[in-house]
Amino acid sequence: MADGEVAAHYSRGDLYQVIAKALESAGKDLANLEPADLDPLEHFHGRGIAATADLAASLTPLPGQEILDIGSGIGGPARYFARTFGCRIVGVDLTAEFCEVARRLNEAVGLADKISIRQASATDLPFEDGRFDAAYSQNVSMNIADKAGFFGEAYRVLRPGGAFALSELALGDGGPVIYPTPWSADGVHSFLLTEQQTVAGLTRAGFEMVSVVDNGPAMHSFLQAQRQAVAREGAPKLGPFILMGADAREKGRNTARNLEEGRTRPIEILCRRG
């Protein structure tokens, strides 16, 4: 039931058409889309493609490796990994419409042979034990109440020694989170943990911690640069706001305020299956 409500929160009904229209109005040729044409809109998390690049660098993927993207959204991070490192990506996501859009975009930019997408929950992964060389998850756990199920499943499907990288919004000490945010309209189905609780949960699942990075300074620079760009050039035509529905601007403002007031904290965690 809760899974269905989370998927309903993200579903738009006409998302592929909305993306196609936005790309066209930004002057992109839909019949000859390049992977980079999607960069500004397909990374559905703070700091966009820069956050994905940082996370990917921490995993150092190798060509031919098979990597799991847990909560793959419309597939932006998966396409970045596949085209940059030549690895194979399996993406799982709860939201059927996001899975469908991800598959269509994989086809549109010629990456469908490197990426497969399954609709499934992070807490019940449809894969055999030890299958993946590495796994990552970006801005997904805030929707998952059952953290033990999520971390336990990630551990189970990794090969021994396999790395798991997460970029997360952790709870800060600046007061209650202000909604709506991109992941929740009103705080229902929002399950943020502190950094310490997240590390403890991963450790309980069996992971060995490698590093925890505070992405606060990078996020603050990003928000500042974004505001300067809007002041200079006006609102952008393309951005992850396209994925967020009618109240996207309010969600964006609250996201910035939550970060700047320390209500949420962006962190990146790297750990390893023992």
The residues binding ligand SAM (CB under 6 A) are 3, 6-7, 10, 43-45, 71-73, 76-77, 92-95, 98, 121-123, 138-140, 143-144, 182-183
Bridge partners (DSSP) listed for residue 166: 137, 269
Q: Name beta bridge partners: 207.
A: 273
Residue 125 or residue 271: which is nearer to ligand SAM going by CB?
A: 125
CA dihedral over 267, 253, 250, 103, signed as positive or negative: negative
Give residue 13's identity as a one-letter amino acid code: G
Question: Smaller CB distance to ligand SAM: residue 4 or 27?
Answer: 4
Name the token pair of 228. Answer: 């300067």
Among residues 6 and 199, whose Cβ is nearest to ligand SAM? Answer: 6
Locate the DSSP E strands across 88-139.
88-93, 115-119, 132-138
Pairing of strands 115-119, 132-138: unpaired
Q: Which is nearer to ligand SAM, 29 or 247 (CB)?
A: 247
Taking the complex as a whole, the smallest distance from the CB of residue 224 to ligand SAM amounts, in Å, to 22
The distance of closest approach from Cβ of residue 74 to ligand SAM in the complex, given in angstroms and rounded to an integer, is: 7
Q: State the nearest-atom distance from the C-beta of 93 to ligand SAM, in Å.
A: 5
Q: Which residue is nearest to ligand SAM (CB)?
A: 73
Cα(242)–Cα(271) distance, integer angstroms: 32
> Minimum distance from CB of 231 to ligand SAM (Å)?
26
Reported as half-sphere exposure (CB side, CA atoms, 13 A), residue 192 has a value of 25
Q: How far is the CB of 158 from ligand SAM (least distance, A)?
A: 17
Total Cβ atoms within 10 A of residue 206: 15
Distance of CA 152 to the CA centre of its chain: 19
CB of 42 to ligand SAM, least distance (A): 7
| Among 177, 174, 155, residue whose Cα is nearest residue 164 | 155
Cβ proximity to ligand SAM, 1 vs 231, nearer residue: 1
Task: Name the residue nearer to ligand SAM (CB basis): 76 or 172.
Answer: 76
